[in-house]
């Protein structure tokens, strides 16, 4: 088995030790996803549902106000309020009042939130490659100063080479407790 075997789904016919649940706002998430031994599980505890990812996509596109987000996403207001509150509480977004009467806030990405950019770009490029129609990608990301299309890949800062996911190994880190997986 390759180094990415830990990331593979369980074999068909087996069950995960965690049970799926649906919250009142309609998202399906893993119960008890904040596993202290797995960074991926902890991250999914914050950004692991469809609406949250789409809110972040819009935040990267410059939408900041509740009404802008609600209109663009066609998301129920209660769901949007819940997801924005969770993102602010987690430190991914910051909320700033821009109007007092009636009170209105805008939401901006924090440095923690900005670091999610490569994840969203990789998810978009995966969708473009495997799920786009015959006409190709619906959106292109370009480096604004020069106009070149963005290409996310793996590059080693130490040896200067490009590499693929099969060149990655998972090793215990300093914060690993017993039973850690990623």
What is the pLDDT at residue 11? 38
Comparing C-alpha atoms, which of 75, 30, 22 is closest to residue 53?
A: 75
pLDDT in tens, 114-160: 999 999 999 999 999 999 999 999 999 888 888 888 888 888 889 88
Average pLDDT over residues 95-106: 96
Q: What's residue 123's pLDDT?
A: 95
pLDDT at 178 over 80: no
**Per-residue confidence (pLDDT) for residue 33, from 0 to 100:** 53
- Higher-pLDDT residue of 146 and 113 is 113
Q: What is the pLDDT of residue 81?
A: 98
Count of alpha carbons within 13 angstroms of residue 101, beta-carbon side:
0
Q: What distance in Å separates the CA atoms of residue 109 and residue 93, rounded to the nearest whole number?
A: 5
* pLDDT confidence of residue 42: 93
- What are 15-66's pLDDT values in tens digits? 333 333 444 444 444 445 557 789 999 999 999 999 999 999 999 999 999 9
Reported as type and span, the H/E element at residue 57 is helix 50-60
**Peptide bond just before 155 cis, omega within 30 deg:** no
Res 181: pLDDT: 58
pLDDT of residue 98: 95
- 32 near 18, Cβ under 8 Å? yes
Mean pLDDT of 157-166: 86
């Amino acid at each position: 088995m390759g180094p990415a075997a830990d990331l593979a789904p369980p074999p068909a016919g087996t069950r995960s030790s965690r049970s799926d649940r649906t919250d009142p706002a309609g998202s399906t998430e893993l119960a008890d996803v904040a596993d202290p031994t797995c960074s991926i599980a902890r991250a999914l505890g914050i950004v692991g549902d469809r609406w949250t990812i789409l809110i972040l996509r819009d935040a990267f596109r410059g939408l900041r106000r509740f009404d802008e987000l609600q209109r663009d996403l066609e998301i129920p207001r209660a769901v949007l309020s819940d997801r924005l509150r969770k993102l602010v509480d987690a430190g991914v977004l910051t909320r700033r009042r821009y109007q007092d009467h009636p009170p209105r806030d805008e939401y901006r990405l924090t440095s923690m939130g900005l670091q999610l950019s490569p994840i969203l770009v990789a998810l978009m490029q995966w969708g473009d490659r495997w799920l786009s129609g015959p006409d190709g990608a619906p959106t292109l990301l370009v480096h604004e100063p020069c106009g070149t299309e963005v290409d996310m890949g793996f590059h080693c800062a130490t040896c200067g080479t490009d590499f693929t996911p099969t060149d990655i190994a998972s090793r215990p880190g300093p914060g690993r407790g017993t039973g850690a997986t990623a």
